[in-house]
Amino acid sequence: MSLAHGRPYLAIPGPSVMPDAVLQAMHVPAPNIYEGALVEMTHAMIPDLKRIARTEHYAAIYIANGHGAWEAALSNVLNPGDKVLVPATGRFAFGWADMAEGLGLVPQIIDFGLRAPIDAARVEEVLAADTGHEIKAVLFSHVDTATSIRNDPAALRAALDSAGHPALLMADCIASLACDRFEMDAWGVDVMVAGCQKGLMTPPGLAFVFFNERGHEARDRVTRVSRYWDWRPRSEPDFFYNFFGGTAPTHHLLGLRAALDLLHGEGIEAVWARHETLARTVWAACEVWSEAGAMRMNIEDRSLRSHAVTALGVGFGNGAKLREWTAQNAGLTLGLGIGMASEEDPESSGFFRIGHMGHLNAHMVLGALGVIEAGMQAVQIPYGKGALAAAAGVVAAG
């Protein structure tokens, strides 16, 4: 007997759960790509996308995953040899830095470790010391999905401003867009990258780059941009084919339209508030479980935690065991620990992550927490008692 039959639940930090409305919108025959509904829908979707990013400036869409968004953004604003500063708080900052290096840029990493946020004061010191303005951009993850830390973009903008430094501020919001509050224009972020498969609830395959006038001007100083990555024809298309550097991702666009309708129907403020309350629900349980000493939340300070993902340590090998148990016995797939390796745990097998992003509600979160508790019982990870009651209390209080 297995208790895994029934609708499976992918509680990982992307791809996230796909709403039926998104899947159904995609279940149609090939639409006309020359004129008509799809073309009109896509043009009308750009302002709706920008509203989610809280920007009034530019957006470009690519057929790509998050790595494609990273490369697209870098390719449009930086020349080979340019220095980029990368304050790192986990695996994803290193990934973007590595992408930069592959493009001939010169990343300078400030490593803040795996359990602390970016210290904007240290970033400011480095920028102030760069009197020749060799650093052309600061790249950071708003939420680092590996560590589940949430960084403060406004503090980085303030650091750039008080250092009087002209570098572009470039944010990776792949995990945070439509989950954690993000105010691109108000917070002075110049370039922002995102994907469709996390807060935007659409099957992986679309990447977005948003940029403001400073980003737009930076593009003019770049001497060579691959025709495919060039954001100009995508952000100011003369005809539809150029929006996507070729054939449009027809069905992904239909899915994304449905997802945007869900988000705007709920309202972005309410979407953020839902994520926050569901995150507090998860934390309430995790904090009680942690009292027995075996579990450790990777980020101690609530104000620094992402509302989209939670990374947890449960002791060498136990993260992997727990994940296997919940998938096989309860139909719940939990996120892998990544980028948390140490000498004692070279594969990050002592970690797991709970994805709580996108299309989810209280019963899904409470169900997942109940299954995690059952799994800890089954694989014998000691845990504090009363966690589910604590989580229910958060939901009851709303």
Ligand X SMILES: *Cc1c(COP(=O)(O)O)cnc(C)c1O
Tokens of 347: 């594969």
Q: Is 150 annotated as a binding residue?
A: no
Closest to ligand X by CB, 89 vs 318, is 89
Query: Which of the stretches 4-12, 167-175, 284-292, 320-328 binds ligand X when contact is defined by CB under 6 A?
Result: 167-175
Minimum distance from CB of 316 to ligand X (Å)?
Answer: 25
Tokens of 202: 């659409």
What residues numbered 4-33 form the site for ligand X, per CB under 6 A?
A: 14
Report how far residue 318's alpha carbon sits from residue 301's, in angstroms, rounded to the nearest whole number.
24
Among 87, 107, 153, 195, binds ligand X (CB under 6 A): 195
Q: Is 174 in the site for ligand X (CB under 6 A)?
A: yes
Q: How far is CA 392 from CA 42, 126, 262, 398, in A?
A: 41, 45, 26, 10
SS3 assignment, position 107: strand
Residues in binding contact with ligand X, number by CB under 6 A: 12
Minimum distance from CB of 69 to ligand X (Å)?
Answer: 8
Place of tokens 């406004």: 154
Question: Per-residue x/- marks for ligand X, 268-307, CB under 6 A?
Answer: ----------------------------------------
Q: Is 358 in the site for ligand X (CB under 6 A)?
A: no
Q: Which of the 8 DSSP states describes residue 303?
A: G
Are the C-beta atoms of 49 and 198 separated by less than 8 Å? no
- Residue whose CB is nearest to ligand X in the complex, by number: 66
Beta bridge partners of residue 208, listed in sequence order: 61, 194
Among 18, 171, 175, 279, binds ligand X (CB under 6 A): 175
Rg (C-alpha) for the chain, rounded Å, is 21
Calculate the CA dihedral of residues 268, 270, 275, 277 and round it to 10 degrees: 160
Closest to ligand X by CB, 145 vs 348, is 145
Tokens of 396: 């009851």
Query: Which of the stretches 60-68, 132-140, 149-157, 184-192 binds ligand X when contact is defined by CB under 6 A?
Result: 60-68
Among 16, 55, 76, 141, binds ligand X (CB under 6 A): 141
Q: Which of 43, 85, 36 is nearest to 61 (CA)?
A: 43
Query: Which of the stretches 37-45, 62-70, 212-220, 311-319 binds ligand X when contact is defined by CB under 6 A?
Result: 62-70
- For residue 377, the surrounding DSSP H or E stretch is helix 362-379
Report how far residue 8's alpha carbon sits from residue 6's, in angstroms, rounded to the nearest whole number.
6
Q: Left (φ > 0), alpha (ψ -120 to 50) or beta: where does 373 sit?
A: alpha
Q: Is 172 in the site for ligand X (CB under 6 A)?
A: yes
Q: Is 355 in the site for ligand X (CB under 6 A)?
A: no
Closest to ligand X by CB, 69 vs 77, is 69
Query: Which of the stretches 172-180, 233-241, 325-333, 344-352 binds ligand X when contact is defined by CB under 6 A?
Result: 172-180
Are the C-beta atoms of 332 and 358 separated by less than 8 Å? no
Size of the chain, expressed as the number of residues it contains: 398
What residues numbered 65-94 form the site for ligand X, per CB under 6 A?
A: 65-67, 92
Place of tokens 């060579």: 224
Among 55, 75, 89, 145, binds ligand X (CB under 6 A): 145
Query: Which of the stretches 61-69, 116-124, 161-169, 218-226 binds ligand X when contact is defined by CB under 6 A?
Result: 61-69
Report how far residue 348's alpha carbon sits from residue 317's, in angstroms, rounded to the nearest whole number.
8
Closest to ligand X by CB, 105 vs 193, is 193
Minimum distance from CB of 14 to ligand X (Å)?
Answer: 5
Tokens of 60: 């470009």
Query: Which of the stretches 59-67, 238-246, 254-262, 289-297 binds ligand X when contact is defined by CB under 6 A?
Result: 59-67
SS3 assignment, position 11: strand
Closest to ligand X by CB, 145 vs 310, is 145
One-letter amino acid at 233 equals P
Bind-site residues for substrate: 353
Bind-site residues: 353
Binding site for ligand X (CB under 6 A): 14, 65-67, 92, 141, 145, 172, 174-175, 195, 204
